[in-house]
Amino acid sequence: MYKIDLIYLDKFQGCLIGVAIGDTLGHPFEGMIRERIYSRFNDFKEFIRSNKKLFSTYTDDTQLTLHTAKALIQGSGFNEDYFIREYVEWLEDPPIGPGFGCLSSIQKLKYGISWKKAASNSGGNGTAMRVSPIGLFYNKDTKNLKNSALRSSIITHSHPAASAGAIVVARAIAFLINKTIETEFLVDEFFEVIISSISNSGEEIWDEFIKILNKIRNSLNISLEAGLIKFSQVGVKTPYFIEDYLGKAFVHPYTLSTVACAIFIFLKNLDSFEECIFQLATAGGDSDTVGAIGGSLAGAYFGKGNIPHDLIQLVRGYKDILKIGEELWLKFKDIDITKANQNYL
Ligand SMILES: [Mg+2]
C-alpha cells in the first residue's frame, strides 16, 4: 500500500472521530455561557477524568455524520435516495438531542413527503454539522463537493445559510486533509479556498457569510474569549431565545455563527488537537455542535495518529466510527482508481 493511501486513511478516521470527540465533550455544556463552563474546573483534562459519566455519549451531530458517511458508501457518492433513507434511518437510532429543523423535516421525509416540501426553512447548523464525509469523499473533486454539500443540505434545510455553511465546512475539510501538521498551511490560502467555494452566488446570505469569514481572517490576533464574544451571534437576525446571552461567549445555533466560531477556534489552536478540541467543546452555547464542526476540521488536519488515545477511547462505540471511516476511505480509493483508469484509457 502506498504511503499516501495510509495518510488518507488516517485523515478520514481522524475527521470522523474528531466530530465524535468534539460532540461528546461539548454535549454536557450545551446551553451554558463559556464563563460558567470554566467556573467548573481548573484543568479540563482532569475534569473529564473524574467525571467520565458526563461524557458518556455523543449526540445527533455524530449520528447524522455517520449516516452521511454510510449514504456515500452505499451510493458510491452523493445519491439523494440513499441520503434520505439514511437520515430517516436516524429516527430509529433514536436521535440524541436533535435540533428542531432536522427532526421535523426528517420526520416528514419518513412519511414519503418530497424533500422540497419536507425541508424546513431553518438556517440552523444541522447540515454543516453532518457534512464532513462529503468533504472527505470529494476532496479531489471540488465541483462535485460543492454540488453534493448543497444538495445534502437542502433536502432538510431550505434556508441559504444552511447550505452556505455545509459547503464551507466540506471545502475546508477537503483542504485540510491535503495538509499535514509537519508542513502546516497558509491561513490566507485556507480563507481564499473556503471563500471561493461560496463566491459569486448572487445570494445575499452567502455574501454576508463571506464578509464574516473575512472578519475572522482579520481577527485571529484577538483573544479567544474576545473572538467568541465577537462571533457567537454573528449574522443572527432574530436573537429570540438568546437575549440574555447577547454580547457573551454563547454560540447561537444559527449556521453562520456556529461555523464562524468553529473556524475561529480551530485556527487559534493549530499546535495541538487536544487543546483545540477542549476550546471548541467549552465555547459555550451550542457547544456540542461547535465541538463537532471544529472537531471535523481539527481531525481532518491532525489525523487520527495525532489524536490522544484516551480521547478516542472516551467516545462511545469509537471502533465502529473508525470502521466507517475506513469504509468511506476504501470507497473513495475505489472511485479514485476507477477515475484514474478511465483517464488512462
Ligand atoms: Mg447535538
pLDDT digits (tens, 9 = 90+) for 24-53: 999 999 999 999 999 999 999 999 999 999
Amino acid at 45: K
Residue 296 has pLDDT above 90, yes or no: yes
Q: Which band of pLDDT confidence, cut at 50, 70 and 90, is reported for residue 6?
A: confident
pLDDT score of 326: 98
Q: Average of pLDDT values for 287-314?
A: 98
Average confidence score pLDDT of the chain = 94
Q: Average of pLDDT values for 77-93?
A: 97
pLDDT score of 34: 96
| Span from the CA of 61 to the centroid of ligand 1 (angstroms) | 5
d(CA 201, CA 210): 11
- Which has the higher per-residue pLDDT, 2 or 248? 248
| Span from the CA of 27 to the centroid of ligand 1 (angstroms) | 7
| Span from the CA of 288 to the centroid of ligand 1 (angstroms) | 5
Worst-scoring range by mean pLDDT, 111-125, 161-175, 251-265, 267-281? 111-125
| Span from the CA of 197 to the centroid of ligand 1 (angstroms) | 26
All residues with CB under 5 Å from ion ligand 1? 59-61, 97, 288
Residue pair 216/226 in contact (Cβ under 8 Å)? The answer is: no
Q: How many CB atoms are closer than 10 A to CB 261?
A: 32
Q: Average of pLDDT values for 276-291?
A: 98
Q: What Cα–Cα distance (Å) separates residue 304 from each residue in 26, 153, 208, 265?
A: 19, 27, 34, 19
| Span from the CA of 186 to the centroid of ligand 1 (angstroms) | 31
Number of residues written out for the chain: 345
| Span from the CA of 77 to the centroid of ligand 1 (angstroms) | 25
Q: Which band of pLDDT confidence, cut at 50, 70 and 90, is reported for residue 247?
A: confident
Residue 340 has pLDDT above 90, yes or no: no
| Span from the CA of 59 to the centroid of ligand 1 (angstroms) | 5
pLDDT score of 336: 74
| Span from the CA of 63 to the centroid of ligand 1 (angstroms) | 9
| Span from the CA of 58 to the centroid of ligand 1 (angstroms) | 8
For the chain, state the CA radius of gyration: 18
Q: Which band of pLDDT confidence, cut at 50, 70 and 90, is reported for residue 14?
A: very high
| Span from the CA of 4 to the centroid of ligand 1 (angstroms) | 33
| Span from the CA of 129 to the centroid of ligand 1 (angstroms) | 9
pLDDT score of 166: 98
Q: Average of pLDDT values for 246-271?
A: 95
Query: What is the per-residue pLDDT across 146-200, written as a single tens digit (0 to 9) for each?
Result: 999 999 999 999 999 999 999 999 999 999 999 999 988 999 999 999 999 999 9
| Span from the CA of 336 to the centroid of ligand 1 (angstroms) | 33
Helix/strand/coil (H, E, C) string of the chain? CCHHHHHHHHHHHHHHHHHHHHHHHHHHHCCECHHHHHCCCCCHHHHHHHCHHHHCCCCHHHHHHHHHHHHHHHHCCCCHHHHHHHHHHHCCCCCCCCCHHHHHHHHHHHCCCCHHHHCECCCECCCHHHCHHHHHHCCCCHHHHHHHHHHHHHCCECCHHHHHHHHHHHHHHHHHCCCCCCCCCCHHHHHHHHHHCCCCCCCHHHHHHHHHHHHHHCCCCCCHHHHHHHHCCCCCCCCHHHHHHCCCCCECCEHHHHHHHHHHHHHHCCCCHHHHHHHHHCCCECHHHHHHHHHHHHHHHHCHHHCCHHHHHHCCCHHHHHHHHHHHHHHHHHHHHHHHHHHHC
Lookup: cell for 248: 457573551
d(CA 80, CA 86): 10
Q: Which band of pLDDT confidence, cut at 50, 70 and 90, is reported for residue 1?
A: low
pLDDT score of 203: 95
pLDDT score of 237: 83
Residue 98 has pLDDT above 70, yes or no: yes
Domains of the chain, CATH where assigned: 3-344 (1.10.4080.10)
Residue 344 has pLDDT above 60, yes or no: no
d(CA 280, CA 287): 7
Lookup: cell for 295: 472537531
| Span from the CA of 127 to the centroid of ligand 1 (angstroms) | 11
Amino acid at 6: L
Residue matched to cell numbers 474528531: 18
| Span from the CA of 340 to the centroid of ligand 1 (angstroms) | 39
pLDDT score of 262: 98
- Phi, psi torsion values for 157, nearest 5 degrees: -130, 115
| Span from the CA of 250 to the centroid of ligand 1 (angstroms) | 15
Amino acid at 229: I
